[in-house]
Amino acid sequence: MPYESKLALSLVPYVAGEQPKGRTFIKLNTNENPYAPSPRVEEALRGLTDSLRLYPDTEATRLREAIARVNGVAPENVFCGNGSDEVLAFAFAAFFAGKRLVSADITYSFYPVYGQLFGVDYETVPLRDDFTVDVDGLMRGSPIALANPNAPTGIFLPLSGVRRLAEHCHAHDAVLLIDEAYAAFAPENAVPLLAEYDNLLIIRTFSKSHALAGMRVGYAIGAPRLIDALRRVRDSFNSYPVDRLAQAAAEAAVLDTAYTAESTRRVIAARDKCRAALLAAGIDVLPSATNFLFVRADAEDAAPVQQALRNDGILVRHFSAPRLKPWLRVTVGTEADMEKVTDALIRHIRHS
C-alpha cells in the first residue's frame, strides 16, 4: 500500500517555466518584469533585520491600507497573501469547493490543479477560434473563474463582458473570480464594478507590474463578506502568510505609482513595437494586453523554434496542449533585449 493519499497520487501539478542555472540567457519565459522594482523598496527594507525575530502583522495592515488607497477602496476590501497563487488557492477553497466551477479551456493552468485539490467540479468552455473568451458559453454555469487579460493568450475581455459575467453570477448567488495578474498592462480593470457587485473578487500579484516576483506577494479586492471568507481559510492554514520583508517591500512599491506607471509604459511600448515588427514580417501574433506576446511560430509545433531560440541564449515558453503547440509565449523584456528577440524570432520562424 502506498504511503501517499489518493489525492496526492492523483494530482497533476502546475509546471513552472525553466529557471536556468549557470548560463546567462535573455529570460523571457516566466513573465517577470525586466526592470528593477521601485528604489523605495530598497529604502523600505533597510534596518528590518532585528524585527525578523517577531512574527509579521497577520493582517498586513499597512500594506492593505496602501493597496486600498491606490485602488480607491477601503482596507476592509483588501486581503493579502503569499503570492496571488496562494490567494487563488484560498479563493478556490472558500468559494468553489464542492461546487461546479466554469472557466475557459485555455487559461492559467493552476486553476485545474486547485480544482482537483479542493474537490471542485471543474468545467471548461473552449475559447473561440480567435482565442477570445466565449462569454455566452461561460454563462452556462456558475461560479466562474476568469483570467483577464487571459494567459497564455494575452487577450483582454472588455469590461462590458466582465459585467455580463458578474450579473449572471450574482443572479445565481455565485462568485465571479477575476484574475487580474496582468491588469496593469491592460486598458481597464474590474475595480469600478465592485461598487455594483458584492460577488466580484479581483485577485492580483506584485510579481508583474511591481517587479517583486521574488517577494511573493498577492492580494484580493472584494466585498468584506468575501474578504472575511478568505481570512477564515487563511487562518486554518497559516495565519502569518506575508512576511515582514514582503509587506514592507510591497507597501513601498505600490505607493510609488509614478515609478510603476513609467516602467509599465516602457514594457507596453516594447511589446507593441515587437508585435508590429512581427506582423510586418508576416508572423501571426495575438493582440496583447499583458507583458507578453503569443506568437505563432509554426504550423504544427513550435518546439523546434523554442529550442533554436534557446541555442541563441533566449528562453521563451512553449505549451504542449494541442491548440497551443504552434505558439510561443514571449515575455516582454527591455527594449534592447526585444530588438534581439524580434530579429531571432523572424529568422527562426521563417526557417521553420
CATH 3.90.1150.10 domain range(s) in the chain: 6-30+258-350
Q: Hunting for cell 504511503 — which residue is that?
A: 3
Cα–Cα distances in angstroms (integers) from residue 217 to residues 4, 33, 185, in the given order: 30, 14, 18
Q: Which CATH superfamily is domain 6-30+258-350 in?
A: Aspartate Aminotransferase, domain 1 (3.90.1150.10)
Contacts (Cβ under 8 Å, ≥6 apart) of 126: 104, 105, 106, 134, 137
Q: Whole-angstrom Cα distance, residue 214 to residue 73?
A: 27
List the beta bridge partners of residue 2: none
Question: What pLDDT sits at residue 250?
Answer: 98
Question: What pLDDT sits at residue 352?
Answer: 65
Question: What pLDDT sits at residue 307?
Answer: 96
Q: Which of 298, 257, 292, 256 is nearest to 272 (CA)?
A: 292
Q: Identify residue 53 by its one-letter amino acid code.
A: R
What is the separation, in whole angstroms, between the first and last Cα of the chain?
A: 49
What number does CATH give the domain 40-255? 3.40.640.10
Strands (E), the chain: 26-27, 78-81, 100-104, 121-125, 144-147, 176-179, 200-205, 218-221, 292-296, 314-315, 317-318, 327-331
φ and ψ at 50, to 5 degrees? -60, -35
CATH 3.40.640.10 domain range(s) in the chain: 40-255
φ and ψ at 329, to 5 degrees? -100, 125
Contacts (Cβ under 8 Å, ≥6 apart) of 8: none
Q: Which of 119, 112, 147, 116 is nearest to 133 (CA)?
A: 147
Predicted structure pTM score: 0.95
φ and ψ at 221, to 5 degrees? -125, 130
Residue 164: Cβ within 10 Å count: 15
Question: What pLDDT sits at residue 284?
Answer: 97
Output the tens digit of pLDDT for each of the chain's 352 residues: 789 998 889 888 877 788 888 778 999 999 999 999 999 999 999 989 989 999 999 999 999 999 999 999 999 999 999 999 999 999 999 999 999 999 999 999 999 999 999 999 999 999 999 999 999 999 999 999 999 999 999 999 999 999 999 999 999 999 999 999 999 999 999 999 999 999 999 999 999 999 999 999 999 999 999 999 999 999 998 888 899 999 999 999 999 999 999 999 999 999 999 999 999 999 999 999 999 999 999 999 999 999 999 999 999 999 989 999 999 999 999 999 999 999 999 999 987 6
